[in-house]
Chains A and B, each alone.
Chain A
């Protein structure tokens, strides 16, 4: 189970609204390489992990992804909050407004709603961990793209933090894959 801590994992204090950037960042909320997909993927896959290291890694990275989901939601909210509807129309983000208002809804930047089809969870831990390595790189690349189009240091700073976490998670999944392969090798599974 989980307990809530009343803070984000990394500080977010955006003072300059930017609805276009909000919609760009939204893909990391409910898009294919987003934090919701990451969290559900690892927290579902953990049930079939064979070693104690792998169980802990999937459990804890899956949990951290929920904290990242909260960071992304906070960024989208602060970038969109109180922007007048006419302004949203001028910036061509009014199609999102007429469906959800200025709420945070799990979709990608094009409005495609979140789907569990973005993730896989198999009994085979080698297959899962290889998917996880790819997922971290795809999320890292998405953060690169977002940083490329961002101007505000208050937006770039948390995006850089999140990008760095993808790199660290990739490292930990690589170590986990090696541990699982060695363990399964010893047990002569093949």
Chain B
């Protein structure tokens, strides 16, 4: 697996953990352990996302790299299989 995919899959793992915790917290809003885990995963995800976007371009349209060309449209889109 290339470096870009490895980094993206790390972000996906943290973002999944965050979403699962979000659903848990919706029905357990006073669970301090879950809240602590959420905070930890959020920091990790934001840090990895910064690294990824500066190297490989935007994950959201609101990330604007310092270039003269709009990068958002660039491949790959999530449904494209790079290895095929």
Contact = CB atoms under 8 A, between A and B. Distances in A.
The interface size bin for chain B is 20 to 34
B12 A9 contact: yes
A9 B21 CA distance: 14
B59 A78 contact: no
Contact of A60 (B12, B26, B62, B84): B26
Nearest to B12: A7
Interface string A12-25: 11110000000000
Contacts of A94: none
Interface string A164-190: 000011001001100100000000000
A168 B27 CA distance: 12
A57 B62 CA distance: 27
B62 A168 contact: no
Given A3-B60, A7-B12, A15 B20 contact: no
A9 B58 CA distance: 17
B43 to A, nearest CB: 18
Nearest to B25: A56
A53 B27 contact: yes
Interface of B: 8-9, 11-12, 15-16, 19-20, 22-24, 26-29, 58-62, 77-79, 81, 83-84
23 contacts: A4-B60, A5-B15, A6-B59, A6-B60, A7-B12, A8-B12, A8-B78, A9-B16, A9-B19, A10-B16, A13-B81, A13-B83, A57-B23, A73-B79, A74-B78, A77-B79, A78-B79, A78-B84, A82-B84, A172-B23, A172-B24, A172-B26, A179-B27
Interface of A: 3-15, 53, 56-57, 60-61, 64, 70, 73-74, 77-78, 81-82, 168-169, 172, 175-176, 179
